[in-house]
Amino acid sequence: MRLTSGFDASASALTAQRLRMDVISSNIANAETTRASYANGRYEPYKRKMVVLEPGAQSFADTLNGQMNGSGNAPGVKATKIIEDSTPSKLVYNPTHPDADENGYVKMPNVDVLKEMVDMISASRSYEANVTALNASKGMFVKALEIGK
């Protein structure tokens, strides 16, 4: 087992949470965007995006065996893809809006700003927790080096 495995795990989590915060920021910024894409002769509203995270290793047993043999997968987490939320767009009655249909309804993005803020707080707290874990690992290395003096 490498001494830097803790650093690797924290670094991968920091990268993943940073990506989550970037995607959430994009969702919030586009919460009112009714012309995000053009398809079939019509403008479509922005679709909420989400980050898919997966573990760096398949299971605990695989990780343990790999670390014991020295050929383990990278610890931590990885972002595998960014997907669009499939929930339907919200219809809002606003006949004066330039994108209103013949009945006066506008298709708005499927972004709930309150939900995005909760996700942002969660990602931010996870990021902070991983910074704390990284600093604790660094502190342990410094203390171990002081023993050798």
* Neighbouring C-beta atoms of residue 106, cutoff 10 Å: 19
Window from 9-13, 33-37, 64-68, 72-76 with minimum mean pLDDT: 72-76
Between CA 69 and CA 67 the distance in angstroms is 5
For 33, the domain range is: 5-147
> What is the pTM assigned to this prediction?
0.82
- Token match 């931010």: residue? 124
* Token pair listed for 148: 């050798």
Number of domains in the chain: 1
pLDDT tens for 19-68 read: 999 999 999 999 999 988 887 778 899 999 999 998 876 677 776 777 67
Predicted pLDDT at 41: 79
pLDDT tens for 90-140 read: 999 999 999 999 999 999 999 999 999 999 999 999 999 999 999 998 898
Predicted pLDDT at 71: 62
**Residue 78 β-bridge partners:** 54
Pick from 99, 87, 97: which is nearest to 37 by CA? 99
Predicted pLDDT at 3: 65
DSSP string, 41-104: TEEE----EEEEEEESSS-HHHHHHHHHHT-PPPPSEEEEEEEE--SPPEEEE-TTSTT--TTS
Predicted pLDDT at 30: 95
Do 45 and 140 touch, CB atoms closer than 8 A?
Answer: no
